[in-house]
Amino acid sequence: MIIYPSIDIKDGKCVRILHENEEEPGDLAHTVEVNDNPADQAQVFEEQGFEWLHVIDLDAAKKITPDNTVPMEELLERVSIPVQFGGGIRSMQDIEFWLKRGVAQVILGTVSMKSPELLLEACREFPGQIVAAIDARDGYVAVEGWSQTTSLKLLDLALRVENTGVAAIIYTDIDRDGSMLGPDLDKSVDLAWAVTV
Task: Verify whether residue 135 is a known catalytic residue.
Answer: yes
Gap between the Cα atoms of 87 and 119, Å rounded: 15
Give ∠ CA 83-143-87 in degrees, rounded to 5: 25
The CA-based angle 64-174-172, given to 5 degrees, is 95
- Helix/strand/coil percentages in the chain, nearest 5: 35, 25, 40
Which of 27, 135, 173, 177 is an active site residue?
135
- Within a 10 A sphere around the Cβ of 143, how many other Cβ atoms? 19
- The C-alpha atoms of residue 173 and residue 105 are separated, in whole angstroms, by 21
Q: Dihedral sign for Cα 46, 73, 31, 63, please.
A: negative
Catalytic residue among 8, 27, 57, 173: 8
Instruction: Please confirm, yes or no, whether 8 is among the known catalytic residues.
Output: yes
How open is the CA angle 43-47-53, to the nearest 5 degrees?
Answer: 60
On the CB side of 34, how many CA atoms lie within 13 Å of its CA? Answer: 16
Q: What is the amino acid identity at position 12? A: G
Residues assigned a catalytic role: 8, 135
